Amino acid sequence: MKRVYNFSPGPSALPLPVLEKAAAEMCDANGAGQSVMEMSHRSKDFKPIIEKTESLLRELMGIPANYKVLFLQGGASLQFSMVPLNLAAGESGPGEKKAVFIETGIWAEKAAKEAAKFAHVDVRASSKDKAYTYIPQAPAAQPGDAYYHITLNNTIVGTKWAQIPDTGAAAAGGAIPLVSDISSCILSEPLNVAQFGILYAGSQKNLGPAGVTVVIIREDLIGHAPSKTPAMLRYDIHADEGSMYNTPPCYGIYVIGLVLEWLKNLGGVPAITKLNQEKAGLFYQYLDNSKLFYSPVEKPFRSLMNIPFIARVKDAEKRTELENRFVKEAAAAGLINLAGHRLVGGMRASIYNAMPLEGVQALIQFMQQFEKGVAH
């Protein structure tokens, strides 16, 4: 069997044991004599699957009892609309309070733009002035804020928040819910769920196949959507129906359960954090000592999951030509999906939980050989 090292930002690599178990159970899952793809979502066969998946997620993330876990569709991008609709919209337009955003990348920018359709948006800080290569200082929350939104890990530009903003005091006006997109960093290192009002993540990076969006929401934030909000965009309806208001993405939920089981057997979040730090540390060490490649991200804000890098070539046309050659030759060597995002160019290695240490080592070895070739 030939397997490549897949550095895609998403859909991304899945652990091989998960793929093998899913393949073995494709036609007969849990002795049911059928595939999960064939099961009724309301059947006695599927119920333990979704319950096990939720239970494992709660255990691995330490999710408090007063939070609901929802398995939805539409990707993290749909949450760009659902969050303001449920937390900051009024009956006939934007509500009185502001939706606060800290812009730290393209996805954060898109989230703020979408929220402006339903709420008064205040972009309180941004790192766009330096092409999003750092995380700006987080201004304080205010009593007139409906919620405070951050993108914890920025997939495209490769930055992450080193310190979570404290929105609890809000100038003595009461706690302001902190909301975060954690699509590309969920379960990659410890996270105190209780610091947040809502966490959401598309599954296709660190959890499973594309098609499932996990939403973790504190119960007191449910039930505030305007009456005309479409049913599929209301958190209360999904919570009341146990994520089964409509047919959920059953197979994706099943695979997420397998991934969570794999992670638990590995040693949980502490074990994967140690591995992720080792992988990222090796790669950043190579980049910091390379004469051909470098990381554009300021060191205190470097992501563990997504690592962009650029060739040290002043002429833009020659740099693009060299980077395209690199991506092509890397793919031929079994190191795929290393091109940077189409909006920023360059190159990027996404080294999510499922990427083994051997994959990062193979990439570094290839880059060292490529660098020698360019030097000569």
| pLDDT tens-digit series, residues 194-232 | 999 999 999 999 999 999 999 999 999 999 999 999 999
Of 107, 122, 145, 279, catalytic: 107
Annotation: CATH topology of 267-375: Aspartate Aminotransferase, domain 1 (3.90.1150)
What length does the chain have?
376
Closest by CA position to 207, among listed 280, 267, 261, 265? 261
The SS3 call for residue 373 is: helix
Range list for CATH 3.40.640.10 in the chain? 16-265
What's the distance, CA 181 to chain centroid?
7
- pLDDT of 217: 97
Of 98, 205, 262, 279, catalytic: 205
Active site residue 262: no
Range list for CATH 3.90.1150.10 in the chain? 267-375
Active site residue 181: yes
Give residue-wise pLDDT tens across range 327-371: 999 999 999 999 998 888 899 999 999 999 999 999 999 999 999
- pLDDT of 167: 87
Annotation: CATH topology of 16-265: Aspartate Aminotransferase; domain 2 (3.40.640)
- pLDDT per residue as tens, the chain (376 positions): 789 999 999 999 999 999 999 999 999 999 999 999 999 999 999 999 999 999 999 999 999 999 999 999 999 999 999 999 999 999 888 988 999 999 999 999 999 999 999 999 999 999 999 999 999 999 999 989 999 999 999 999 999 999 999 887 555 456 899 999 999 999 999 999 999 999 999 999 999 999 999 999 999 999 999 999 999 999 999 999 999 999 999 999 999 999 999 999 999 999 999 999 999 999 999 999 999 999 999 999 999 999 999 999 999 999 999 999 999 999 999 999 999 988 888 999 999 999 999 999 999 999 999 999 886 5
**Maximal C-alpha separation, the chain:** 68
Strand partners, 311: 293
Of 145, 181, 262, 279, catalytic: 181
Task: Pull the structure tokens for residue 215.
Answer: 């939403």
Collect all residues with Cβ–Cβ distance below 8 Å to 373 and sequence separation of at least 6.
none
pTM of the full structure: 0.96
Q: What is the dihedral of CA 14, 19, 20, 24, to 10 degrees?
A: 160
